Structure 1
Amino acid sequence: MNTAADPTKTSIVLVHGAWHGAWCWSRVLPLLRSAGVDSHAVTLTGVGERAHLMSPGIDLHTHIQDVIGLIEAEELQRVVLVGHSYAGMVITGVADRLQRERPGLLTHLVYLDAALPYPGDSWSSHHSAETRQARIDASKPSGGLSFPPPDATLFGLSGADRDWVNRRQTPQPFRLYLQPLDFDAERVDALARTFIDCTQPALATIAPSRARVRSEPGWNVVEMATGHDPMVSEPAALSQILRDIQRQAST
């Protein structure tokens, strides 16, 4: 029996943002898979169903390895890598490493209303001083271990959707909030890149990314008239956008 991975198949790997887990893609994954798209969602160490693994040692490199570990375990050969919110930091680090170690494995990066770092930036680099201090202060009750999630109304959610996300969010490891990410920008920028801009309501902390992708060459920008968690509020529309990207990456 031949169990080797199909080298022509383009898969989608979904990486959630802060306080979330793979659970947040539960409305998107069935739509992708029913359309025949090989799709996977990773839960980063310390959150979601892996919240019991919370520890002071969790940093950006832990989360980068989480994603690479899934890609390697599933023996994926061609990957559209999607990072939501904070995970823009993570997929940038993944891209830098895989472009060096396994060029050709990644076919497209999708920044879903996501942080977009320059080399040496931390997740906090483009936040306002007020936001940065508020998150530092919020980490103090845990001794700097983690900081708690906001109410999901911040993400433009209401009613049952808001309650669903609030029940599932878990504290975010704090160390990685201030940790700089060093990477080779030319290596990452060599990949096809799409930014999905969620505009109604637009999350303030994503404003620098929003402006950057409209001022630099090489970006495909797609707008969605929904809030910061489109995998919850508009799963069908998001799934279609991702299917279109995956189809283009497969040609």
Structure 2
Amino acid sequence: MTPHVLFVHGAHHGAWCWDEVRTRLASTGLRTAAVDLPLTSYADDTEAVRTAVREGTLYGPVLLVAHSYGGLPVSAAGHAADRLVYIAARMPRPGQSPAELTPHWNDPAFRTAVKEAADGTLTLLPQARDALYSGTPEPHAERAAARWRPMRSRVPRPPVDDPAWLSVPSAYVVCAQDRTVRPDAQRECAAHACVRLELDCDHAPFYSAPDELARFLGEQAALIAG
């Protein structure tokens, strides 16, 4: 059966951020879909992933791909997938509070580019563009920044007790020039994955390294083809 590649975006983004990679994978014959997280709460995001994975399994084995914040709902709800790929993504360990890890996770400069409103809604300030897309072609960076989404989801304080990567084979992509998530923090996560790849790119390899990323994802999908 042909693998079904299911993409989960990170904070403030949407399914649209995967378009470049999905186009490249489509030319290989792989089926792909991208989840639009509601970004209304971590619980809502987790349920959206769980539903998408359940529906994806109807079409074939699922390769579940997470970027950045998306690694949290994927870890909490991706147990029915056949393989996981984390891209500069949170990969929580049992007993570890993701929220308490945030100061070690994010680049300090990026934290100043996030604004919280009185009602708890988080938005990105213009300076976040340089941190997120430091190596991204200008047209992609401009379009992406124009589509940033406000969010009320929060990195959870309670640990993810049974993260999916403990039972589902996983791969990790480190973004070595990332100015949003510290590369060393990514490498600590990558040490727990079955396969690791390091790309010389910014936080958005779906724009800055789409060919290399698509090639790697195609290789991961081949491992679960039935």
TM-score w.r.t. length of structure 1: 0.76
The answer on 1:162 being equivalent to 2:136 is: no
Match of 2:23 in 1: 30
Match for 1:16 among 9, 12, 23? Answer: 9
Displacement after TM superposition at 1:29 (Å): 1.0
Match of residue 53 from structure 2: 71
Instruction: Select 1:145's aligned residue among 108, 112, 121.
Output: 121
Once residues 205 and 142 of structure 1 are traced to their aligned partners in structure 2, the CA distance between those partners, rounded to angstroms, is: 28
Task: Tell me the CA shift for residue 11 of structure 1.
Answer: 0.9
- Equivalent-residue separation in structure 1 for 2:151 and 2:91 (angstroms): 19
Inter-partner Cα distance in structure 1 for 2:12 and 2:98: 14
TM-aligned CA distance change 1:235 to 1:212, over 3 Å: closer
The answer to which structure has the higher helix fraction is: 1
1:200 CA drift (Å): 2.4
Contact residue 86 and residue 123 of structure 1 kept, 8 A: no
Aligned match of 2:63: 80
- RMSD (Å), alpha carbons: 2.8
Q: Deviations over 1:188-230 (max 9, x none)?
A: 312211000111245444532312423x4x5311011111101
The SS at the match of 1:110 is strand
1:46-77 deviations in whole A, cap 9, x for unaligned? 4xxxxxxxxxxx32221121122223345244
Distance in 1 (CA, whole Å) between partners of 2:43 and 2:183 is 22
Where does residue 75 of structure 2 map in the other structure? Answer: 92
Pairwise CA distance, 1:178: 4.1
Identity %: 22
Q: How much does 1:28 deviate?
A: 1.1
- 1:54 matched residue in structure 2: none
Counterparts of 1:33-48 in structure 2 under 5 Å?
33-46=26-39
* Corresponding residue SS for 2:206: helix
Residues 125-204 of structure 1 correspond to what in structure 2 (within 5 A)? 125-128=100-103, 131=108, 138-139=115-116, 141-148=117-124, 151-155=128-132, 156=134, 157=136, 159-174=138-153, 176-185=154-163, 188-201=165-178, 203-204=180-181
Give, in angstroms, the shift of residue 161 of structure 1. 2.5
For residue 19 of structure 1, give the secondary structure of its aligned residue in structure 2: coil
Stretches of structure 1 that go unaligned for 5 or more consecutive residues are 1-7, 47-57, 99-104
5+ long unaligned stretches in structure 2 = none
Contact 1:119 1:183 in 2 (8 A): yes
Distance in 1, Cα, partners of 2:217 & 2:210: 10
Partner of 2:215: 240
Figure out how many residues of one structure are paired with residues of the other and give that number: 220
The answer to whether 1:109 aligns with 2:84 is yes
Letter paired with 1:244: E
* 2:41 is aligned with 1:59: yes
How far does residue 153 in structure 1 lie from its aligned partner after superposition? 1.3
- Say which SS state the counterpart of residue 138 (structure 1) adopts: strand
Letter in 2 for 1:64: T
Larger of the two Rg values belongs to structure: 1
Q: Comparing 192-201 with 146-155, which one deviates more in the overlay?
A: 146-155
Alignment TM-score, normalising by the size of structure 2: 0.84
